[in-house]
Amino acid sequence: MKAIRFSQAGGPEVLEFVDVDLAPPGPGEARVRHTVIGVNFIDTYHRSGLYRLPLPSGLGTEAAGVVEAVGAGVTGLKAGDRVAYAGALGAYAEAANVAADRLVSLPAGVSDETAAAALLKGMTAQYLLKRTYAVQPGQTILFHAAAGGVGLIAGQWARHLGATVIGSVGDDGKIPLAQANGYAHVLNTRGGDWVRQVRDLTGGEGVPVVYDSIGRDTFAGSIDCLAVRGLMVSFGNASGAVPPVDPGLLSARGSLYLTRPTLASYTRNGRELRETADDLFAAIAAGVVNIAVNQRFPLSEARAAHEALHSRATTGATVLIP
Ligand SMILES: NC(=O)c1ccc[n+]([C@@H]2O[C@H](COP(=O)([O-])OP(=O)(O)OC[C@H]3O[C@@H](n4cnc5c(N)ncnc54)[C@H](OP(=O)(O)O)[C@@H]3O)[C@@H](O)[C@H]2O)c1
């Protein structure tokens, strides 16, 4: 089969579209024939070496498709079942062997494209807004990268939960899209004093929670946006890793909390994975969140997808078609 592989960390040019052999599924695994593959910012961290992988390696952690075969000991799944996964490495390929307990069955109303675009990003929005910090009606919150893949889902969901959502973008051209997806106020982090704007929008109080996936460029400003005893949720590093933090900063700014969550630790076992995915699928079915697939590339052009993501040119979700 064809797959994207890379043998050294670097820019999008290290990605190669090559022929590889796929073994039959091992014990506890199912082989999934991919129909649509999700592109996520974490794929760029793996490729660049910010998150180190043993090389050579496959890439990508999210796809939807059809079960082709199951390995020894797999029950509850059979050839022909529609499934998706988020979190197993090697998704940039025509097929993959995936641990059966990491596969989510797709409801009839969720298309393969929606699943590949939304499973990882939507489950992330789910745990961030409901479990890392349970957003309450009437609260005003700040969510960075509002027009991105996670951002467009989170804006809609947070508004549905009753929050007034402030979003950030890096380009004024993305403001209308963010506004149409739940954000009451949209600030530009590449122009203007966005920290002052957040303070002004909250009567000087600050927000109870900031969701910051931009990392290095926004971390300090996000801390300054928090109300006393507020929670800083640092969940990504699109602009680079956050430098070490002195706990004294949290006390000086008013007994703040800081967490650095991952989807893996909020979907630790089959039950948590199913509950999180079911909540997302219910939100999609109810129209609480609409999934925007705004970029599609052939699998062979994964490099171009990475260039678009890296250059901040994308909005919503990006998918690869094998
Ligand atoms: N911890 C977790 O569980 C978890 C799970 C999923 C995703 N994430 C994180 O959530 C974030 C969003 O993921 P996504 O896949 O939906 O990506 P995305 O939001 O579609 O793309 C990243 C966005 O970050 C913004 N950005 C700011 N500074 C940037 C820079 N220097 N270079 C590139 N982009 C920059 C850009 O938006 P603007 O130009 O509008 O600022 C860009 O569109 C990522 O940081 C990702 O790592 C974390």
Rounded Cα gap, residues 49 and 61, in angstroms: 16
Q: CA torsion, points 208, 209, 214, 216, in degrees to nearest 10?
A: 60
For residue 182, report the distance from its CA to the centre of ligand 1, in Å.
18
Residues contacting residue 174 through CB under 8 Å, at least 6 positions apart: 146, 147, 186, 315
Atom of ligand 1 nearest to the CA of 213: 45
In CATH, what number is assigned to the domain containing residue 284?
3.90.180.10
Pocket test for ligand 1, best of 312, 319, 320 (most atoms within 8 A of CB): 312
261 and 127 Cβ atoms separated by less than 8 Å: yes
Residues contacting residue 134 through CB under 8 Å, at least 6 positions apart: none
- Domain count within the chain: 2
Check whether residue 14 and residue 88 sit in a common domain: yes
The range of the structural domain enclosing residue 161 comes to: 137-260
Atom of ligand 1 nearest to the CA of 313: 43
Which tokens belong to 59? 């890439």
Atom of ligand 1 nearest to the CA of 217: 28
Q: What is the pLDDT of residue 63?
A: 98
Q: Is the pLDDT score of 209 beyond 90?
A: yes
In CATH, what number is assigned to the domain containing residue 224?
3.40.50.720
Check whether residue 246 and residue 299 sit in a common domain: no
Structural domain contains residue 41: yes
Q: What is the pLDDT of residue 191?
A: 82
Structural domain contains residue 32: yes
Which tokens belong to 146? 């509002």
133 and 209 Cβ atoms separated by less than 8 Å: yes
Q: Taking the model in full, what pTM does it have?
A: 0.98
> Last residue of a domain, which of 210, 227, 260?
260
Structural domain contains residue 124: no
Structural domain contains residue 80: yes
Task: Determine which residue's CA is closest to atom 28 belonging to ligand 1.
Answer: 239
For residue 148, report the distance from its CA to the centre of ligand 1, in Å.
6
Atom of ligand 1 nearest to the CA of 316: 20
Q: What is the pLDDT of residue 192?
A: 83
Q: CA torsion, points 120, 126, 129, 130, in degrees to nearest 10?
A: -150
> pLDDT tens for residues 153-197?
999 999 999 999 999 999 999 999 999 999 999 999 998 899 999
Check whether residue 281 and residue 300 sit in a common domain: yes
Mean pLDDT across 289-307: 98
**Where does the pLDDT of residue 288 fall: very low under 50, low under 70, confident under 90, or very high at 90 and above?**
very high
Structural domain contains residue 179: yes
For residue 100, report the distance from its CA to the centre of ligand 1, in Å.
29
Which tokens belong to 211? 């969701």
For residue 213, report the distance from its CA to the centre of ligand 1, in Å.
6
> pLDDT tens for residues 17-75?
999 999 999 999 999 999 999 999 999 999 999 999 999 999 999 999 999 999 999 99
For ligand 1, residues with CB inside 6 Å are 40-42, 120-121, 124, 145, 147-151, 169-171, 174, 189, 213-214, 217, 235-236, 238-239, 261-263, 309-310, 312, 314
SS3 call for 195? helix
> pLDDT tens for residues 302-320?
999 999 999 999 999 999 9
For residue 73, report the distance from its CA to the centre of ligand 1, in Å.
38
Mean pLDDT across 255-268: 98
Average pLDDT, the chain: 98
Check whether residue 8 and residue 61 sit in a common domain: yes
Rounded Cα gap, residues 254 and 56, in angstroms: 46
Atom of ligand 1 nearest to the CA of 318: 20
**Where does the pLDDT of residue 141 fall: very low under 50, low under 70, confident under 90, or very high at 90 and above?**
very high
Angle at 168 between CA 165 and CA 169, to 5 degrees: 140
Q: What is the pLDDT of residue 213?
A: 98
Atom of ligand 1 nearest to the CA of 147: 40
